[in-house]
Structure 1
Amino acid sequence: MNESILLRKETTMNYKRLFSRLGLFLLGLGTAASNHGCAALPGEKPVYRIERARQEPDLTDWESPTWRNSEIGRMNNVYVATLFCPAVEFRALYDAGGIYVIFRIEDQYVFAKEDNRSNRISFDSCVEFFLQPPDSDGYFCFELAASGNALLYHCCDINAGKLTNFSAEEYGQVTIRSAFSGKIDPAIDEKTTWTIGAFVPFSLLEKYYGGEIDPAALYRQIWRGNFYKCAVFANPHWMSWAPLPKIDFHLPEYFGTVTFGR
């Protein structure tokens, strides 16, 4: 078993110990979230449509005209929010080269100290998106800290350690742009609105998918995925776009539906 898988298993155990301390018997009731102005909202699996970009979108500008052509997704499923419940929205577009995603977060206690490629990126103030192409056993995981550092990998079975971290060269193919310009320590205690965006080329996805991704044919395809917001170090909280039965982001059977515009 390689070092990255050992670290991932250790991180999973850290989560379980933390959840125990937080008293996750509250999860089913939504009490932890409700006490801070949020409510857990279970429901049917949502559908998000990724529209085709008319021009390359700006990963730093949520309000740019190109992004206005996109659908806005919201993370309404809140499981725990200990000090403050963020409001999180996201948009996604695609073009001939790949997929663009941008998040807008109304946040508080923003904190990010982990290095790039750290297995504890999700302990920082973090957003994530997981995508699964059709007829694929695995799914792609993009965990983005407020600092702009990230953990990127392809996963088949997280519990069995069946995952492949992207190489340094593959990290270089993914563009990430955060409103912050590096690590954030100490935490920003006041309320802060920040954005982070990412571009993922189809050529990188194809390497792990094992087949061609034809942008011209995407409108016929149904992908699956989910979008998340979390933190552990400061203001522990866990949120998602598609609802989950428990705090575990690696539940592909609960992914929502992702479609593509023409």
Structure 2
Amino acid sequence: MISTETVIPFSATGSDMAALTLQHALWNTALQQESQIGIAHDGNGIWLTFDVWDKFLQSRKRSFNDDVHFDNCVEFFFRFPSDIGYYNFEFNCLGSIKAAYGPDRFQRKFLPVAILHKIEQNLQVSISNQNKTGLINWKIGVYISLSTFLFSDISFLQNITCEANFTKCGDMLPQPHYFSWVYIDTPSPDFHRPEFFRPIHFA
């Protein structure tokens, strides 16, 4: 586990972001690729961008809080310093959202659909025969306001240190894969491991 703290910049426009990499291929993932994450905040919410490269693109238009991890999916795990539980936000390449809160993978409460509708999204998929890698590039940008974090008593993000992880998966793709920002030392796929979250400080 990496112990150094990542500083998240204050950015009212979302243009000045900390750049992170999903560098760890986990649980026998054979694909060799890296996806990029951008994160910033404006005091009242979190800006996230996911710049993803995939060999396969497979997705269904799922309902809110459905099993988006079966598709090409990126995930954001996040815990405030005063919380026992943590949040997970999952987005597939069609922009479908699953989000919940709880202390572990089993004891979780879904965020209401009315709240998920307020998460801002910008989605782009690029398939090009000029791409020498043969991979499909898809990007998603989201803004999660503090009002989304229903189970936490937080009024402003600046100058607090939280814990997080960023992950990517595709459980039902022709070649299932699992990538993570922080290395997760478990024998089988399990992103819901807050003991491996890494500190991030909102400057």
- TM-score over 0.5 for the pair: yes
Q: Indicate yes or no: 2:139 matched with 1:195.
A: yes
Shift of 1:151: 0.5
| More helix as a share of residues | 1
Residues 167 and 178 of structure 2 are in contact (CA less than 8 Å); yes or no, is this contact kept in structure 1? yes
Cα offset, 1:213, TM superposition: 2.5
Identity %: 21
Structure 1 counterpart of 2:86: 139
Residue 112 (structure 2) pairs with residue 167 (structure 1): yes
For structure 2, the 5+ residue unaligned runs are 127-133
What residue ranges of structure 1 are gaps of 5+ in the alignment? 1-42, 58-65, 182-189
- Which structure carries more relative contact order (alpha carbon 8 Å, separation 6+)? 2
C-alpha distance after superposition, 1:42-67 (max 9, x if no partner): x53453221111x423xxxxxxxx2x
Note the 1:63-74 alignment, pairs <5 A: 66=15, 69-74=16-21
Query: In the TM superposition, what is the alpha-carbon distance from 1:229 to its structure 2 partner?
Result: 0.6
TM-score by length of 1: 0.68
Number of residue pairs matched by the alignment? 193
Please tell me the residue identity of whatever aligns with 1:254: F
Instruction: Report the residue type matching 1:115 in the other structure.
Output: R
- The partner residue of 1:126 within 73, 80, 99 is 73
Per-residue deviation at 1:155?
2.0
Give me the whole-angstrom Cα distance separating, in 2, the residues matched to 1:51 and 1:127: 22
RMSD between aligned alpha carbons? Answer: 2.0
1:114 is displaced (CA, Å) by 4.7
Indicate the SS of the match to 1:72. strand
Kindly indicate whether residue 181 of structure 2 is the aligned counterpart of residue 237 of structure 1: no
Contact 1:45–1:254 under 8 Å retained in 2: no
Name the aligned partner's letter for residue 200 of structure 1: I
Q: Distance in 1 between matches of 2:123 and 2:166?
A: 17
1:114, 1:124 within 8 Å by CA — same for their partners in 2?
Answer: no
Aligned to 1:56: 13
TM-score, normalising length: structure 2: 0.87
**How far is the alpha carbon of 1:70 from its aligned partner?**
1.9
